[in-house]
Structure 1
Amino acid sequence: SASRGNLTQQKAFWDMDVAVIAERDDDGERLMRELQRLRCKVRHIWPMPPQIPVQFDLVFCALTEDLPQRIPWIPGQPEAALVVIDGGEGELDLQLIHNCAAHGVLHYPATQRSVQTAVALSRGHFQYEKRLRGRIDKLDENLRTMRSVERAKSLLIRMKDVTEEEAYNYLRRQAMERRVTIGAVANAIIDSHELLS
């Protein structure tokens, strides 16, 4: 069953759009061959573009001093999984890697194992991060709705001289009748009040 799990994992790589932004030397060629062996759709880009392209599922990119400035997305909101490539020359700049907010690091020389691991981990981290952002966005939306409902209730309490429970029930009734969310009704009440005042 371990080999069946591996096959399922490897099928997840099939047809994945991958950019390799690195020199096409022996190491670059080896990396591209390993990605093709995983059945990824590989596109080589060199020289390095002013901005890292975002239309890929995964981007392997040579680690350069100015790489953080070439990353077009807002930190914490990546548009593609990013793996930085350490060419192996000189001292490893951990702060630079940190500033790139990469999902993985590939050290040359690339091996079948290291490429497969980099693809699996970086893609997994990227998708996990995306799910977390989705949940955070949903929680933010829920908080905004709760604030709107509270504000609309306090307006109704003042304007209609009703209890908090009656104000909430009014909002619920209106939402059910109009087949919209209670937040939409609350926002409509707030907007009309602001318009009239």
Structure 2
Amino acid sequence: MGLEIERRFLVRGEGWRQHVGWRAHLEQAYLVGSRDGLTVRVRRSDRAQALQADGEPGGQAWLTLKAPAPGGRDGLVRQEFEYAIPLEDAAALMALAPHRLAKWRHGLELPGGDWVLDVFEGENAPLVLAEVELASAEQPVPLPSWCVHEVTGRPELSNAALAREPLSRWSVERRQSLLAWLGEADVTSDTI
């Protein structure tokens, strides 16, 4: 069984840019996205400037199943099963999916784990979230100053939830509720 141990943070500012090692455009489509955390996702990635031998844009695709881990803590630890699939299969599956999102993923060179940062597009802009994958749930993580609030385990900010109900479709009351939870001194409505 594959386990994903991951913490997530709301990002403010541009300080993260100096740590970027690579970037890729991701399109994600959700075939299943239950509120209890079970998801079946198709992801297509086009690395910036990646070209195939014939000069066409390169890319990769994966089919991923995620589910809560037995005894997992508040979204920190999940079961994850991920399989590479042909791009043609990904396109066919994405056409069947009712919910999708797009974002730019940036690989970050930071200590404390495997860091990535997602800059969401479309109806989820201007949301920016950082994620760090860890070897254990107890592993300490040195946090950069631009990680303004931890959102690990917040189901409404999972990728599956954002595909199902993008931020732009949230009611004013729901946004304000999240801002209140985050602490308005830490973030502004421009962040979410």
Is TM > 0.5 for Structure 1 vs Structure 2?
Answer: no
**TM-score scaled by structure 2?**
0.25
Higher strand share: 2
Question: Which of the pair has the greater relative contact order for Cα pairs under 8 Å at 6+ separation?
Answer: 2
Higher helix share: 1
Return the index of the structure with the highest Cα Rg.
1
